[in-house]
Amino acid sequence: MALRRRTRFILLGLLALLALSPISPLYWWLAHIYYEPAKREAMQFCESLTPQIETSRRETGTYPSAADPAWLRGRRIPKLIRPKHFYMPTATSYILYFWNPGDFMDDFWALDGATKQWSNYDSEKPRD
């Protein structure tokens, strides 16, 4: 009887570990729920920078080649925003971006400055 209870306990423990491992859909569902507020906060942060970026373009004629530290000064930076990696100029516009660890595959979120539309896809994080 004790052996049966012990076996049942071990089996339940293994099932719980499997359910909460990164190979489980349950893990990714819970991660999505956990990171969704942080993703929304990062999106709002990026969207709030567009007026400053557009002002810079109007003043200089081109989009900034790098993020201006003044954009971040005095602001609380969301946890998904990496200050060294969130802005990239393009030939005709710019992209504001971040990675969301709560998304299974398409974890890279990018705001296209030309269309003001968000898209997401899979991308490697920089190593810094």
Residues 83-94: pLDDT tens digits?
Answer: 999 999 998 999
- Asked if 63 and 88 count as a contact pair (C-beta separation under 8 A), the reply is no
CB-count burial class (<10 Å; 0-12, 13-18, 19+) for 53: buried
In this predicted model, what pLDDT tens digit does every residue of 98-123 receive, in sequence order?
998 877 677 899 999 999 999 998 87
pTM: 0.77
